[in-house]
């Protein structure tokens, strides 16, 4: 492979549901989150985005039945080396697979994480993965943060990838997370409807913003209360970066041990007892207590409605046991 080599990415979408006053560039920004709005507008003006086989404009209002095709040249990096990393596979067929991702696993190679990723593990498991987002993101339809565990969908073919991505964009995928949060919410359930945008001071963080943010909706339901903590079922109605973590922190209930959005990066048994930490005491959990518990999708080829669920990993379960023991109501 020579420097400067590129690979051609063609992504196709068909607008099947009812659409209310949505611009073409806005639709594509949601469907292709790895491309900036500026880049998408440039592609549209260069004729590399077509609607119903004809060039269009960024301001075009999409309609039901529209067929959209995007063509992008991506720099082609080296193929991701396969690695023999055990995978907890919840489901697999010739079109897709569903994995229970462990905590502390990056989804795809990026700066500082060239190995040990989910893509490396997938490449070691199967030679058939979608290439819709290039070699570095082979098979990846959506993402989970490095320290968020749980259910993640992977596509084996570009056809399956496109069908699954369309479901995410149309918000027909039902996603539920389990979160252990600080303090008990006053309400048993609520909708958090607050727009999200870049944090003004921290480039790694996201914040609730008053102007210019992207719409974001999160529903939480209290599953169990403890003294000073709660276990929540959290349903995402939109899929913004760090959405659950930012929304819950904003309403005063940050996810336990969230190093970015709470005041501690780990929780110890001594914390629950109100005692100073013991020398050498191991943490109950030292990553955000957030687990992608359940997802409901339509199969990308045969149309079956499917539900997949993954049990929480050991650290999450250990924290729940400690809360039941030390902080019952």
Let me know: does 152 contact 101? Beta carbons within 8 Å. yes
Encode burial over 153-188: b for 16+ CB neighbours within 10 A, e otherwise.
bbbbbbebbbbbbbbbbbeebebbbbbbbbeebeee
Q: Which of 5, 25, 34, 145 is catalytic?
A: 145
> Which is it for the CA torsion 256, 85, 300, 196, positive or negative?
positive
Q: By three-state DSSP, how is residue 120 classified?
A: helix
> Is residue 145 annotated as a catalytic residue, yes or no?
yes
Distance CA 16, CA 256 (A): 40
Which SS3 state, helix, strand or coil, does residue 206 take?
strand
CA 93 vs. chain centroid, Å, equals 22
Residues designated as active site: 145
């Amino acid at each position: 492979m020579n420097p400067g080599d590129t690979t051609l990415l063609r992504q196709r979408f068909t607008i099947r549901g009812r659409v209310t006053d949505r611009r073409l560039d806005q639709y594509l920004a949601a469907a292709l989150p790895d491309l900036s709005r500026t880049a998408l507008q440039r592609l549209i003006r260069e004729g590399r985005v077509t609607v119903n086989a004809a060039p269009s404009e960024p301001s075009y209002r999409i309609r039901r039945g529209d067929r959209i095709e995007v063509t992008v040249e991506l720099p082609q990096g080296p193929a991701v080396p396969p690695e023999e990393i055990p995978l907890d596979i919840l489901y697999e067929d010739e079109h897709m697979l569903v994995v229970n991702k462990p905590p502390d696993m990056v989804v795809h190679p990026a700066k500082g994480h060239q190995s040990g990723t989910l893509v490396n593990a997938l490449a070691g498991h199967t030679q058939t993965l979608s290439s819709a987002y290039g070699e570095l993101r082979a098979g990846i339809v959506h993402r989970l943060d490095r320290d968020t565990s749980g259910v993640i969908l992977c596509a084996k073919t570009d056809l399956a990838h496109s069908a699954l991505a369309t479901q995410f964009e149309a918000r027909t995928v039902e996603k539920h997370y389990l979160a252990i949060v600080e303090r008990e919410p006053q309400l048993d359930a609520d909708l958090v409807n607050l727009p999200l945008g870049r944090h003004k001071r921290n480039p790694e963080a996201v914040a609730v913003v008053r102007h210019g943010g992207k719409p974001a909706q999160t529903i939480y339901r209290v599953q169990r209360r403890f003294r000073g903590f709660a276990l929540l079922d959290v349903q995402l109605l939109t899929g913004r970066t760090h959405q659950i973590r930012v929304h819950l922190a904003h309403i005063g209930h940050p996810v336990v041990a969230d190093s970015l959005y709470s005041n501690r990066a780990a929780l110890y048994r001594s914390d629950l007892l109100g005692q100073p930490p013991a020398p050498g005491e191991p943490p109950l959990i030292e990553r955000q207590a957030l687990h992608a518990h359940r997802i409901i999708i339509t199969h990308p080829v045969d149309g079956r409605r499917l539900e997949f669920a993954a049990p929480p990993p050991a650290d999450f379960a250990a924290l729940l046991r400690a809360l039941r023991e030390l902080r019952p109501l």
